[in-house]
């Protein structure tokens, strides 16, 4: 993969909201130094699209195949067999997003938890990094990851990432010590979000990766608009202030973290 200063570890650029200008979006990202990204699939219907997108941009795009907790009831043995068939493809760097969402998720928590257990056990068998989505479910997430990943990752720093982190500083610290990277995105730039900045101050730059979650979660300068990967430097600037580091050091450290997370050695 080509090496840009920044790595956007979580995008949904195959969303129809980018149909009219996807190439321009990638070009705008490249101009500000966002040279690599991981495109995330929420359900099997997305998988062909994200794979095609990664194949179209082999220098800069990889993908992750997942089952968002909104679709947790679809996590059958047949689903897992289908995922296993795709997971070894060279474009696929992770399983995700998967997880727990008690805020808006239409699926009962017990069904979400059962699906997450099966998916995490599969990731461990397949030795594949994990992209976790978690909203208002950090206690249950912690219990389940401790069941399945109860020892440090062998020979590497991360089992996966808890993307769009929204838990407490204590949640973040526990997860970071247990081998989970912490994803930072637009909300860290919001003036009122001191608690989230405290999360990142507490865990420090060594476990943090940058992400936009485009088209969702725009940073402060574009709130209410469609988000895109060119927003990554604004997130980095907010973290530079939190850590009293230069923005270029934030770019370097978080991109190294992302390269290690997704096992892309070309740093």
Site residues (vs Zn ion, CB under 5 A)? 40, 97, 133
- The nearer residue to Zn ion, 97 or 234, going by C-beta atoms, is 97
Q: Of 65 and 240, which CB lies nearer to Zn ion in the complex structure?
A: 65
**Nearest residue relative to Zn ion (C-beta):** 133
Closest CA to 69 of 130, 10, 9, 132: 132
CB 240 within 8 A of CB 107: no
Q: At its nearest, how many Å lie between Zn ion and the CB of residue 236?
A: 19
| Spatial distance between the Cα atoms of 232 and 230, rounded to a whole number of angstroms | 6
Cβ at position 40, least distance to Zn ion in Å: 5
In the bound state with Zn ion, the residue whose beta carbon lies nearer, of 37 and 40, is 40
The CB-of-134 to Zn ion minimum distance in angstroms stands at 8
Closest CA to 34 of 12, 61, 65: 61
Q: Minimal distance in Å, beta carbon 71 to Zn ion?
A: 12
Q: How many CB atoms lie within 10 A of CB 16?
A: 8
Q: Which is nearer to Zn ion, 12 or 197 (CB)?
A: 12
């Amino acid at each position: 993969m080509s090496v840009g200063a920044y790595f956007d570890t979580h995008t949904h650029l195959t969303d129809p909201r980018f149909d009219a200008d996807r190439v321009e979006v990638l070009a705008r990202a490249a101009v500000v130094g966002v040279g690599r990204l991981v495109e995330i699939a929420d359900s099997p219907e997305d998988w062909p699209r994200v794979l095609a997108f990664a194949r179209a941009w082999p220098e800069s795009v990889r993908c992750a195949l997942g089952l968002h907790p909104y679709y947790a009831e679809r996590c059958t043995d047949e689903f897992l067999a289908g995922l296993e068939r795709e997971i070894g493809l060279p474009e696929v760097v992770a399983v995700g997003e998967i997880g727990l969402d008690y805020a808006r998720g239409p699926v009962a928590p017990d069904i979400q938890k059962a699906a997450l257990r099966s998916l995490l056990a599969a990731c461990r068998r397949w030795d594949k990094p994990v992209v976790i989505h978690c909203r208002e479910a950090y206690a249950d997430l912690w219990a389940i990851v401790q069941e399945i990943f109860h020892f440090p990752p062998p020979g590497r720093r991360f089992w996966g990432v808890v993307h769009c982190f929204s838990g407490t500083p204590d949640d973040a610290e526990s997860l970071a010590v247990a081998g989970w990277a912490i994803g930072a995105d637009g909300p860290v730039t919001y003036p009122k979000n001191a608690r989230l900045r405290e999360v990142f101050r507490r865990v420090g730059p060594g476990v943090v990766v940058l992400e936009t979650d485009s088209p969702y979660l725009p940073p402060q300068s574009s709130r209410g608009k469609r988000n895109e990967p060119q927003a990554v430097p604004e997130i980095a600037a907010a973290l530079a202030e939190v850590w009293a580091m230069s923005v270029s050091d934030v770019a370097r450290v978080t991109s190294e973290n992302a390269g290690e997370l997704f096992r892309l050695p070309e740093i």
